[in-house]
Amino acid sequence: MPTGPCRSRGQCLPVPTDPHPARPVSQFARRSFLKASALGAAAVSLGIGPRPAPAVHVSGRRTVPAKARNVIFMVADGMSFGTLTLADVFRRQHHDRQSAWMGLFSKPGVRRGLYATWSADSPVTDSSASGSAWGCGRHIDNGVVNITPDGVQRLPILIKARQSGKATGVVTTTRVTHATPASFYANSVRRDWEGPIAEHLLGRGVDVMMGGGAKFVTEKLLSDHADVTVVRDRAALLGLIDKPSADGRLLGLFAESHTPFRLDAPESVPTLAEMTRTALRRLDTHADGFVMQIEGGRVDHAGHSNDAAALISEQVAFDDAIGEVLAFLDNGKRDDTLLIITSDHGNSNPGLTVYGQAARQGLERVARVRHSFEWITDRLAGLDAAGVGQKLLPVVEEATGIKLDGGDLAVITGALAGKRIAAFRQQNRFDSALGGVLANHYGISFVSGNHTSDYVEVTALGPGSESIAPTGHNVDLHGVMEASLGLAPARPLPGMEELVKFPQRPKPD
């Protein structure tokens, strides 16, 4: 794990990082990939040209009429079923109601399934492979976006939708160029080549784009797309809610990297629910309908950090976005939109694991947390072991309201010093140690800081949802969307017929 400036690598606090950081692309590698992909001018011309008339899906000699005008695909990234449960229990205790997601389970017409997520090269997937399974309906290697192991570039679902006359959108709490949103519009041999992925985002004509990632969607890149209106704070975004029919495309960039965790977010950063509401109103003005992905991406990041309070906060924020979508659908009465809600994979398998009043008291403590682990590490980054030892306990108390003791401090600083503090080596990290000692106060524990091979919940409502089987694989959902929309046969973008060569993979951090 990367470290901040300090005297020795084994004795300083890790700088808070994305578990899947973006990496710079060499000019040679970038030129090679652009030549064999649709990132160039041909893709740009296709992306911003006029949309063709809506079509029907052709299967053999039979023409299948479209069932859905719109598709809304919602992703709680890295959501183990335990995370869904925690958010529901938390809402019941603190909001006196069940979660919007679990409330759907008892509604007439809602279909549910338990779906596998393995990638082409692993039983445990990452977000790019799992997202690409939805995006193109194929098994993809971890770390790759919509390119199958044979080097064939596969057309993503938003590009297919655009070719059939649909408007398109991505809304996320991560960078708009991050793996999950990218899986619906981009092709890349590496998920961390986010500069070229940003060129796909704008060049392929996505209509509504909201999240973080300003460091990749640069002013230079924006200068080539005069039809894009950019907003950069909550006030500017909410000012557009009453102007849904404005001309041109909309890009909301609310952070240089990912948007802050809700526990840390300033008033200037909109919630996922607010981004969702604005995006839906804008996309719904398109006569031929739309396809959009909505991602609660920082659920995954909180899981990686074993940060129970941030995890629940992010999952509740995603649940609020579900509420916005259900309001848009008039609580299921609107019959022209297929809604799919799922996760790309589990992460860390958290659970409330104490009995009696201790469980309720733990959730009360979670409700009083003011900041995330990211906030804590930001304030300790760069300190050596002695500095961390002096400042850790008061900083944790400021963030969580919990006083840790000397034994807790010894566990955490032991992890920083590289000592074996847990039987499972994957738990010998700063954030896992901090999550572990706080589990004694919250009653919420984690199995690791990694993705898991769990099957995931799929919940669907609306035209086409009858195709959701009780069990399946994430690749099946691409076909469900395609058939429900009645998409025309896809046309590969210029350059896509060339096979892509995969670069050497980087060593894990």
Rounded to an integer, what distance in angstroms lies between the CA atom of residue 346 and that of residue 452? 5
Looking at residue 146, what DSSP letter applies?
S
* Partners of 212 in the β-ladder: 175
What are the distances in angstroms from CA 329 to CA 75, 271, 335, 355? 18, 20, 8, 39
Rounded to the nearest 10°, the torsion over CA 480, 483, 489, 490 is: -30
Radius of gyration, alpha carbons of the chain? 22
Q: For residues 294 and 196, what is the distance between their CA atoms, to the nearest angstrom?
A: 22
Alpha-carbon distance of 469 to 333, in angstroms, equals 22
- Kindly write down the DSSP assignment for every residue of 272-326, as one continuous string: HHHHHHHHHHHHTTSTT-EEEEEEETHHHHHHHTT-HHHHHHHHHHHHHHHHHHH
Task: Please state, in angstroms and as integers, the Cα–Cα distance from residue 473 to each residue in 117, 139, 187, 468, 486, following that order.
Answer: 6, 10, 21, 10, 21
User: What tokens does 290 get?
Assistant: 């739309």
Say whether 249 sits in a helix, a strand or coil: strand
Separation between Cα atoms, residue 254 and residue 398, nearest integer Å: 26
The catalytically annotated residue of 80, 99, 119, 127 is 127
| Residue 261 phi, psi dihedral angles, 5° rounding | -55, 150
Residue 237's φ and ψ, nearest 5 degrees, are: -65, -50
Task: Let me know the angle formed at the C-alpha of 213 by 485 and 481, rounded to the nearest 5 degrees.
Answer: 10
- The CA–CA distances, whole Å, from 199 to 48, 294, 496 equal 13, 20, 16
Is-catalytic flag, 127?
yes
The angle formed by the CA atoms of residues 438, 440 and 441, to the nearest 5 degrees, is: 70
DSSP 170-204: EEEEEETTSHHHHTTT--BS-TT-HHHHHHHHHHT
Whether 496 and 155 have beta carbons less than 8 Å apart is answered as yes
The residue with tokens 């549910």 is 112
Residue 300 and residue 449 in contact, taking contact as beta carbons nearer than 8 Å: no
Catalytic residue list:
127
